Amino acid sequence: MRKYLLAAAILTLTATACNKDKDYTRAIILDTGDVSQDGCGYLLRLEDGREEKPQYLPSAFQHNGLNVLVKYHRTGVLDTCESSVPRRFFDLVKIEDIKRRD
């Protein structure tokens, strides 16, 4: 019985280690231009095509077209950054973790 429990524990750890990025979403960093010039600053284009606006993006990731893995949560706040009509609204998100992807 102990052998089966040990084997189950090892399989669980192996499966967990293989899925270390499962809580992350694939995204591309978009530099849409300076907010004071009617741009939106940096956005995250998620793998499903949605664009979200991070509250804060670390400077190491402020590169247009950079492929990243990001873990985030929504703040419940909508943000707009364009002064001309029609305005685009974005979910404001807080980045919990971000890393480059290959």
**Domains in the chain, ordered, with CATH?**
23-100 (2.40.50)
| Count of residues making up the chain | 102
Average pLDDT over residues 73-88: 80
| pLDDT confidence of residue 82 | 66
Rounded to two decimals, the pTM is 0.73
Average pLDDT over residues 56-62: 95
pLDDT in tens, 49-58: 999 999 999 9
CA–CA distance, 71 with 69 (Å, rounded to integer): 7
pLDDT at 12 over 60: no
- Helix, strand, coil percentages (3-state) for the chain, rounded to 5, are 25, 40, 35
| pLDDT confidence of residue 87 | 73
19 vs 29, more confident: 29
| pLDDT confidence of residue 34 | 80
